[in-house]
């Protein structure tokens, strides 16, 4: 999916993740801030990148503010923010 506009999803509440995505012409730029970075930072990064890949996003600037979200929450926030930014409706595969 092509990222057309800046979009946000999520909250800054505990166990959630706040995601900002915007267009970028130089591939994926990922910035992560997490309260559990030392323990789960690599896992958060993996889930975000896998989710973007599954959705066909090849260029975007993505800012993540993780408050201890579990994997399904991260995936759902990425799906939501990407479909908003692509100005499309999400369809389940």
Q: What percent of the chain has a predicted confidence (pLDDT) above 70?
A: 96
Q: Are 65 and 17 in contact (CB under 8 A)?
A: yes
Among the residues of the chain, which ranges form H helices?
Answer: 37-54, 71-85
Q: Identify the pLDDT of residue 65.
A: 97
More confident residue, 35 or 88: 35
* Residue 42 pLDDT class (50, 70, 90 cuts): very high
Q: Closest Cα partner for 47 from 10, 78, 25?
A: 78
Q: Model pTM?
A: 0.91
Specify which residues 61 forms β-bridges with.
Answer: 22, 29
pLDDT at residue 88 is higher than 90: no
Mean pLDDT of the chain: 94
Kindly report, residue by residue over 51-73, the tens digit of the pLDDT: 999 999 999 999 999 999 999 99
């Amino acid at each position: 999916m092509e990222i057309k506009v800046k979009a946000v999803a999520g909250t800054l509440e505990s166990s959630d993740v706040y995601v900002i995505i915007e267009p970028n012409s130089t591939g994926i730029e990922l910035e992560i801030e997490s309260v559990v970075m030392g323990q789960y930072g690599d896992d958060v990064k993996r889930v975000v990148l896998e989710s973007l890949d599954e959705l066909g996003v090849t260029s975007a600037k993505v800012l993540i503010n993780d408050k201890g979200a579990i994997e399904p929450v991260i995936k759902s926030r990425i799906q939501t923010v990407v479909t908003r930014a692509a100005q499309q409706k999400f369809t389940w595969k």
